[in-house]
Amino acid sequence: AQTVTQSQPEMSVQEAETVTLSCTYDTSESDYYLFWYKQPPSRQMILVIRQEAYKQQNATENRFSVNFQKAAKSFSLKISDSQLGDAAMYFCAYRIHIYQGGSEKLVFGKGTKLTVNP
């Protein structure tokens, strides 16, 4: 079964500090993609960062970066210089392709609620 595990239901960080959110996944595929989504109280799902499994280099988007350990099936998100606006639920997701032609689905973890303290 394809699963995504986020072991930290809640995390907190001081404004301007760094926090790391954990994610592990289970797959037998070699070609896949990993994502972190942010869901603020508005409940809009916002893509934070993506990682192609075939790329060894860790993805970075401004203050957000990942630590992708393919052999360990680990995909953690690091938020540097945390801001109040970073407070949200964060979901790790794994994309699998069902068959040729663009069919796919995202498998989501249960999320980590991040609180940013001023």
Partner 1 sequence: NAGVTQTPKFQVLKTGQSMTLQCAQDMNHEYMSWYRQDPGMGLRLIHYSVGAGITDQGEVPNGYNVSRSTTEDFPLRLLSAAPSQTSVYFCASKTGGRSGANVLTFGAGSRLTVL
**Contact pattern from residue 73 through residue 102 relative to partner 1, giving x for each residue in contact according to CB under 8 A and a dash for the rest:** ------------------x-x---xx--xx
State how far the Cα of 110 lies from the Cα of 7, in Å rounded to an integer: 9
Exposed / middle / buried, residue 22 (Cβ in 10 Å: 0-12, 13-18, 19+) = middle
**b/e per residue, 38-57, with b = 16+ CB within 10 A?**
beeeeeeeeebbebebeeee
State how far the Cα of 7 lies from the Cα of 59, in Å rounded to an integer: 22
Choose, by CB under 8 A, the member of 18, 40, 45, 60 that binds partner 1: 45
Q: How far is the CB of 62 from partner 1 (least distance, A)?
A: 17
Choose, by CB under 8 A, the member of 43, 56, 57, 85 that binds partner 1: 43
Choose, by CB under 8 A, the member of 21, 88, 111, 114 that binds partner 1: 111
Radius of gyration of the chain (CA): 14
Q: How many residues are given for the chain?
A: 118
Choose, by CB under 8 A, the member of 8, 52, 64, 80 that binds partner 1: 52
23 scored as a contact of partner 1 (CB under 8 A): no
Which residues of the shown chain bind partner 1 in the complex (CB under 8 A)?
A: 4, 31, 33, 35, 42-45, 47, 50, 52, 91, 93, 97-98, 101-111
